[in-house]
A and B are shown apart, each in its own frame.
Chain A
Amino acid sequence: MDAQQYNNCVKEWSDALFRFAVKCTGQASDAHDVVQGAFEVLWAKRDEVLPEKAKAFLFQVAYRQSVDNFRKRSKIAFKDAPEESYSPANPDLKKVLERALAQLDERSRALVLLKDYEGYSYEEIGRITDLNESQVKVYLFRARKTLKEYLVSVENII
């Protein structure tokens, strides 16, 4: 990968990577560090990474940094987050989902984001997260079930 291809990756994927990191870590400042760190690693290993694999590589690095390095911090951030995002008078599904996502553990949250935000398949998510496909399937199943139960409980309130 040359500099131009690297810069194209920055233009194309930095926003998506930042969104992923923000949702994973719960902190924009941490997410900024994650994105910067991911691109630094990509630049350092540009000779080994093919351009078509750059996106997966970036998310792999970002996932590790987000989940491993910011796990405790993100947990605190999400658990301390106020419940103001949802109220019966304002049943915004997006906000409800944000709250539902906060109920998940870091890994499940990251898997859901990789699946929903980026549209990766179970197999691709497995490569990014160093899990096998079955593990991804199980994690996502549990995550969806938790999210669904949260939504149903909210719907019952509505």
Chain B
Amino acid sequence: MINLENYEEYMVMHADGELSPSEEQELMNFLYEHPELQSELTAFSMTKMIPDTDIVFEKKDALMQPEEGKKVITFPVWRKYAVAAGVAAIFFVSYLKIHTGSTEEVTTVAAVTNPPAATTPASPVTNTTVNPTPEQNANNTDNTVPATTNTTETQAPQQKTMLAANTTKPDRVKHIDQVTGVKNMTHETAVAANTTIATEQINPVVPAEMIAWKNQENISEVFVTNVPPASIYMHEGDERGTNSIIDKLPIDELKKKGMENVASAVATGYNKVHALREEISGSAISLKIEKRKLVISF
């Protein structure tokens, strides 16, 4: 029975939710009779604590226990370091492989490109050889006609021969320019060799008079001003490797040696042909290289 002596106890139990429905009804009836006590009931209800959900236990993982059926692989400390080192080594080797691979490609291309594709013959040479003087034209009628025919037939194969099995295309050369610092050397080499090869292509069979005329005119200048391939590939005057362009390339020594060997072989072959040409330039013999044959016209 609720009365003025024990009503607080009922109010606390009401706040705690411990009253039965009948006791709740009894309390409401009591408050109806004593409305001045309603504020006390409200005050008791306000003493209910509200959980502070911002407070959380952060280290739950430290309390967890390994469950059966779930395999937990634990490594000693040294094994963790070993695994980390292994992974790092794999990444390093992969990086090195990729890096080295790209250098290899560039090196190969550069080596092949050394005697470059004769795509655009140097215009001074072309003009000089194609437009000889009228007297020469008259003198060379017999020789020139077959020579022209030969030129038409053999130009493409000859190009292959002169390029020393070079299959590199101009755009490939351009690609190298974009990719590496080999750019200048490769390009210069290409231009220099282009000049020379253009002469070869347009005059596969050169009459003696014409050769003589060339020597007098600026064609000889072409030969003279042509940078010797050897000096491009390897500065023979220098100590090998000190000032060579190849030595400045960002590649390892083995590849530099390979490049030097290829360059040396090409330069030697070129020099031989050049020397032979010089020797026969004063005679009535014309020389042409067709595929793997040396064609001599006289």
Contact = CB atoms under 8 A, between A and B. Distances in A.
B18 A122 contact: yes
A144 B65 contact: no
B12 A113 contact: no
A35 to B, nearest CB: 6
Given A18-B57, A32-B59, A7 B64 contact: yes
Interface string B28-69: 000000000000100110111111100111011011111110
A-B pairs, top 6 by smallest CB distance, nearest first, are: A147-B47, A116-B49, A18-B57, A14-B57, A3-B67, A144-B12
A3 B8 contact: no
* A interface secondary structure, majority: helix
Interface in A11-53: 11, 14-19, 22, 32, 35-36, 39, 43
A6 interface: yes
Contacts of B49: 97, 101, 112-113, 116-117
B46 A93 contact: yes
Interface of B: 8-9, 12-13, 15-16, 18, 40, 43-44, 46-52, 55-57, 59-60, 62-68
A43 to B, nearest CB: 6
B50 A141 contact: no
Contacts of A15: 55-57
Contact of A17 (B15, B43, B57, B68): B57
A13 to B, nearest CB: 9
A39 B59 CA distance: 12
Contacts of A11: 60
Contact of B57 (A35, A113, A148): A35
Contacts of B47: 97, 100, 112, 144, 147-148, 151
Nearest to A138: B9
Contacts of B55: 15, 18-19, 22
Interface of A: 2-4, 6-7, 10-11, 14-19, 22, 32, 35-36, 39, 43, 93-94, 97, 100-101, 112-113, 115-117, 121-122, 137, 140-141, 144-145, 147-148, 151-152, 155
A10 B9 contact: no
Contacts of A19: 51-52, 55
* B interface secondary structure, majority: loop
B108 to A, nearest CB: 60
Contact of A145 (B8, B51, B56, B64): B8
A137 B15 CA distance: 12
B65 A7 contact: yes
Contacts of B62: 36
Contacts of B50: 94, 97, 116
Contacts of A137: 9, 13, 18
A141 B65 contact: no
A7 B63 CA distance: 8
Contact of B43 (A2, A36, A148): A148
B8 A141 contact: yes
A3 B68 CA distance: 7
Contacts of A4: 67-68
A3 B63 CA distance: 11
A141 B56 CA distance: 29
A91 to B, nearest CB: 12
B68 A2 contact: yes
Contacts of B57: 14-15, 17-18, 32, 35
Given A18-B55, A116-B48, A151-B47, A141 B12 contact: yes
